[in-house]
Structure 1
Amino acid sequence: MKRRREMKVTRVRDVKLPTRGTSQSAGIDFYVPNTFKERSIGPGHKAFIPSGIKANVPPGHALIAFNKSGVALKKGLFVGACVVDEDYQGEIHLHVVNVGTEAVVIEPGEKLVQLVLVPVFYDTIEEVSQEALFSETTDRGAGGFGSTGNF
Structure 2
Amino acid sequence: MPDGTTDVIGASDPGIKGVRITPLIRIPDERGQVMRMLRADDRYFERFGEIYFSMVYPGKIKAWHIHSVMTLNYALVTGRINLVLFDDREGSSTRGRIQELVLDESNYCLVTIPKGIWNGFKGLGLTPSIVANCATDPHDPNEIRRIDPFATDIPYDWALNK
RCO comparison, higher one (Cα < 8 Å, 6+):
2
With normalisation by structure 2, the TM-score equals 0.23
- Structure with the higher strand share, 1 or 2: 2
